[in-house]
Structure 1
Amino acid sequence: RPIPKGFKVKTGTVIREADGWYISLTIEDKTVPVEVAEIQPTKENSKGIDLGLLHYAVTSDGEFIEVPKFFRLSEHRLSKLQVRLAKKSKHSKPWKILKRKIAKLHQLIARQRLDWQFKLAYHLFSDVRVIFLEDLQVASLLRRCKVKLGGNGQFLPNGQSAKSGLNKSLQDAAFGQFVQVLEYVAWKLSKRIIKVDPKGTSQHCWECLSKVPKSLSERWHSCSNCGQELDRDYNSALLIQKIGLLSTQGEDITSVKTAVRVSQTEESRVRHVA
C-alpha cells in the first residue's frame, strides 16, 4: 500500500519468516501529534485484570477467560517432527523439508496466539475505558532456579524440572506480548492502560486489605476479618482495580503495601478520636 502523504520512512527492517520474506517500515510525520488519552478512571468506567495460568485472565466484573494453550495443543505434533528431523542427515533435502515444516508450525502457533490476543484485547475494552493490570516482570518469572549444593559439593534437587514445565506454560501464554497488544489497542481506541505493583495482590483481601496468606495450590480466598469468600484470582482482580483507582484519585497509594499502611493510619486516627 502507498505511504500516506506527509509521512517519511524512518527505518526499514527485512525479516525472513517461515513462509517468505517481509519488510517492516517505520514512518513518521512530525506534524501529527502523539495523543495520550486523558481519562479519569472511576469504578464504572474501569476494570482490573489478573493474568494467570489456570485462567488466562480474570476481570473485576467476574469474567473468567480460559487459557488457549496454542503451543501445548501442537506440542505432540512438533515433537514427532523433531524426532524425524533428528534422524535425517543435516542439510540434506529431507532435513530441509522437515525443518521448513517445523518452522511453519511454529509460525502458525505464533499467529494463532497473536490473533487471539488482539480479539481478547478488543473484547476487554468493549465495555470500559480504563484497564488496570499488574506490572509483571515476565523475564524474572522465567528465571532458572538457583543451584543447591550439599555438604560434600553434590547437586541437590532445586525444583528446576517442575519450573521447566511452568516456564513452558508461561512462554505459551506470552503475557509480555499480550500486555503490548493491550497497550496498542488502548492507544488505538483512545483508552488507557494503568499498571499496578503486583506485590501482595494475591495475599490480601480486596475489601478490608487484611493479609490472607495462600499457597499456590490454594484457589479460594477466605477472609476471617470481613468474611469475603471468593475465587483467589477474582479477589486479585478486584484488588488490582481498587489499588489502581486509589492511585489515580489523589491518594498517596502506589501498591497494596502503601494502601494497607494508609488504612491502618486512618483506623488508628479514628480510634484515637473516639
Structure 2
Amino acid sequence: MRVFPQFKTNPVKGDLIKLPELGWVKMRLSRPIPDGFKLKQVHILKKASGYFAMLSLQCDVQVPDATPHGHPVGIDLGLEKFLATSDGELIARPRFFNELHRKLKLLQRRLKHKKKGSKNWRKLNLKIARGNQRIHDNQKDFNVKLAHHIVQNAGRVFVEDLNLKTWAKGMFSKHRLDARFGQFINILQSVCWKQQVYLAKVNADYTSQQSPQCGYTTDRDVAAAQIVMIRGVGAAGLAVPEIAWGEVLPGVIDLGKCPRARKPRKQFLGIPTLNEVG
C-alpha cells in the first residue's frame, strides 16, 4: 500500500485522479464526494483483482455520540451459531473458508510443482490470491449486511467484552478466525455510529452459565444474549425491559441442567465500556 498525503487542491476530476509522480490516472469512483468535504489522503492498495484507491475525506462537523434510547438488543457470539440476539434471533455461521478450502489446498499443491517465477507459476499464484480475496470479500459483505440488519430495529446494542486475541487460540482457532468476529464488531461499531444507535460492551463472564430466571427455558445462545442485554441496560442505569419468562422456543434447553459452559470472555477492542462512557 502506498499513501499520498496532503493535497493542496482537489485532485479528482470526474473519473480521473491526479497523483504525484504518476499524473492523471483513470479510476471508477464508487460514489461522488459529498459537498463540504476535503480530500486529505489517497491510499493506493493492490489486491488480486486490481488496484484500489481509498480516499480519506475531512469535514469540520461535530457528530454527537449516541445516547441510550429505544429498543435494547443483546448479542452473543459463538461457533455453533454466528450470533444470537436477545430478541430470539439465531444467525447461522457462514463457512466461506471451508467451502473453498479444498480447492485452494489443491491449487497450492499444484503450485509447488511449478517453477518459481515462470508464467504458469504466476497464473496459479494469481488464481490462489483471487480465491483468498473472494473469501475475504464474502465475509465482509456478510458482516456489513448483518450489522445493518441488527441496527435497523435497535436503539441500544450491547455486546460481550471479549479478548479476541486469546479467543482465537486453541482447538477452534481456525473456525473462530474464519468467522472474523473482530471484523464484525468493528463494522457494527461503525454502523451504530452512523445510525446514531448506542453501542456498549458488558462483562462477558458467565453469560452462558447464568439463567435469566429460575425455570425459564430457551435456546442457550438466546439466553446468553438476554443476559448481555440485561447487564448492559442495568449498567446504564435504565429500566430492564420485561422478557416473556416461561416462553419455550424451538430447540430449547434447560440452562440449569446444561453440563457445558463457556469459558469467561473478557475484552472487545475499540468499543467504549459502560464505565468509560459513564
Q: Same fold (TM over 0.5)?
A: yes
1:180 to 176, 181, 186: 186
Offset at residue 231 of structure 1 (A): 2.5
Aligned to 1:171: 177
Per-residue Cα deviation, 1:60-107 (whole angstroms, up to 9, x for no partner): 111111011111111111111111111111111111101100100111
Give the Cα separation in 1 of the matches to 2:174 and 2:140: 17
Determine whether 1:190 maps to 2:196: yes
1:35 to 64, 81, 84: 64
Determine whether 1:122 maps to 2:148: yes
Aligned to 1:235: 223
Aligned to 2:95: 69
Offset at residue 9 of structure 1 (A): 2.6
Give the Cα separation in 1 of the matches to 2:139 and 2:35: 33
Offset at residue 250 of structure 1 (A): 6.4
Aligned to 2:43: 13
Per-residue Cα deviation, 1:109-150 (whole angstroms, up to 9, x for no partner): 11111111111111112222111111222111124x6xxxxx
SS in 2 for 1:48: strand
TM-score (norm 1): 0.72
Equivalence map 1:250-265=2 (5 Å): none
TM-score (norm 2): 0.71
% same residue: 36
Q: CA RMSD in A?
A: 1.9
What code does the residue aligned with 2:216 have?
A: Q
Give the Cα separation in 1 of the matches to 2:129 and 2:198: 36
Aligned partners of 2:69 and 2:198 also within 8 Å: no
Greater helix percent: which structure?
Answer: 1
Gap runs ≥5 in structure 2 = 1-28, 240-263, 265-278
Per-residue Cα deviation, 1:164-191 (whole angstroms, up to 9, x for no partner): xx11111110000000111111122121
Gap runs ≥5 in structure 1 = 146-162, 208-225, 257-274
Offset at residue 11 of structure 1 (A): 2.6
2:207 to 192, 201, 207: 201
What code does the residue aligned with 1:240 have?
A: V
